[in-house]
């Protein structure tokens, strides 16, 4: 696929001034690098790590000869979209898809990856220089839904730590899951068969990592091991109440400005299993 990783090498092979390695986002009409392909065996591991199924739409940003979206359709039953700036590669990819028998389920568009509409993607595939991946981060968080998987060959995405890393065939494959936005203050109601409790949950996040506190019953507790995996949230409280150990484990699903799940409380005044719901304060 067309990838920026060849840019540095290419600069040493041509005369000064004959090519550009502009890494800034912006509308482009001509590719400014040669392309490097991801080996087919690595492509398969990328798609497996991303958990691609027939329900997915896989976008490859800089799709080159189309091998990733073709493999996603042929081997996993997914739909695919390749975004490529080189018109010859777009034509080649379209023909490759036809030969592979997936011409009806994948398509290739000639477009600048920084301005391409990726909102319908459930999986994004990348093989580009770290600088380009970093430049794409705002676009990912602006356009992709929580739970969208991003899988990259060899290079990371800025300071966003991956959720999973796979070493295969002498290279690295990284996976991120776009996290829900949970920053803010939430009203939390815990209910069991015996009682109802109300808490205030204050959350801050950096990508999928979450910090914060939960307060109620005249106490404030610090959250431990809190994190997101797409729309799934997990957090823990470990403290003491009146000299007795307290542990509360909360797991749930975030849906915009609401979330809900289950909480298991051990120790403290009211141990047991609770159902909980949260609503973000919009003040």
Buried b (16+ CB within 10 A) or exposed e, 161-177: ebbeebeeeeebbbbbb
Q: What is the pLDDT of residue 65?
A: 96
Q: What is the pLDDT of residue 18?
A: 27
What pTM value is reported for the model? 0.86
* Under 8 Å between Cβ of 98 and 91: no
Q: Which residues are CB-contacts of 1 (< 8 A; sequence separation ≥ 6)?
A: 35, 36, 37, 38, 60, 62, 63, 64, 65, 66, 67, 68, 82, 84, 127
**What integer is the mean pLDDT of 74-84?**
98
- Please tell me the distance from the alpha carbon of residue 49 to that of residue 234, in angstroms, as a whole number: 22
Q: Where are the alpha helices (DSSP H) in the chain?
A: 7-11, 40-49, 67-76, 87-99, 130-143
pLDDT of residue 243 exceeding 90, the answer is no
Q: Which of 10-14, 23-27, 205-209, 230-234 has the lowest mean pLDDT?
A: 10-14
95 CB-contact burial (10 Å; exposed 0-12 / middle 13-18 / buried 19+): middle
**What integer is the mean pLDDT of 228-245?**
94
Q: What percent of the chain has pLDDT over 90?
A: 81
Q: What is the pLDDT of residue 27?
A: 53
Q: Which of 19-23, 40-44, 153-157 has the lowest mean pLDDT?
A: 19-23
Residue ranges and CATH numbers for the domains of the chain are 4-177 (3.40.50.150), 184-280 (2.40.128.120)
pLDDT of residue 5 exceeding 90, the answer is no
DSSP state of 69: H
- Please tell me the distance from the alpha carbon of residue 177 to that of residue 121, in angstroms, as a whole number: 12
* Under 8 Å between Cβ of 210 and 227: yes
Terminal CA-to-CA distance of the chain, rounded, Å?
47
pLDDT of residue 136 exceeding 90, the answer is yes
Q: What is the pLDDT of residue 34?
A: 52
């Amino acid at each position: 696929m067309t990838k920026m990783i060849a840019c540095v090498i290419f600069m040493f092979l041509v005369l000064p001034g004959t090519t550009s390695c502009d890494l800034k986002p912006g509308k482009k009409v001509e590719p400014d690098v040669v392309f490097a392909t991801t080996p087919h065996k690595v492509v398969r591991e990328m798609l497996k790590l991303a958990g691609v199924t027939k329900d997915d739409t896989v976008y490859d940003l800089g799709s080159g000869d189309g091998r990733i979206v073709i493999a996603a359709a042929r081997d996993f039953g997914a739909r695919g979209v390749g975004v490529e700036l080189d018109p010859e590669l777009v034509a080649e990819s379209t023909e490759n898809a036809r030969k592979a028998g997936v011409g009806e389920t994948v398509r290739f568009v000639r477009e600048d990856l920084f301005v391409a509409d990726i909102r319908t993607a459930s999986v994004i595939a990348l093989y580009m220089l770290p600088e380009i991946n970093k430049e794409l981060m705002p676009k990912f968080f602006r356009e992709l839904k929580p739970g969208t998987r991003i899988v990259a060959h060899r290079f990371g995405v800025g300071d966003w730590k991956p959720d999973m890393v796979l070493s295969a065939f002498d290279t690295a494959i990284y996976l991120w899951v776009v996290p829900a936005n949970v920053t803010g203050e939430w009203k939390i109601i815990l209910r069991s068969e015996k009682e109802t409790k109300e808490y205030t949950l204050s959350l801050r996040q950096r990508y999928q990592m979450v910090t914060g506190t939960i307060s109620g019953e005249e106490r404030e507790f610090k959250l431990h091991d809190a994190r997101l995996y797409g729309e799934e949230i997990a957090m823990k409280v470990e403290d003491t109440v009146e000299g007795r150990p307290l542990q509360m484990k909360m797991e749930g699903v975030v849906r915009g400005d609401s979330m809900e799940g289950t909480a298991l409380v051990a120790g403290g005044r009211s141990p047991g299993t609770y159902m909980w719901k949260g609503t973000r304060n919009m003040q």
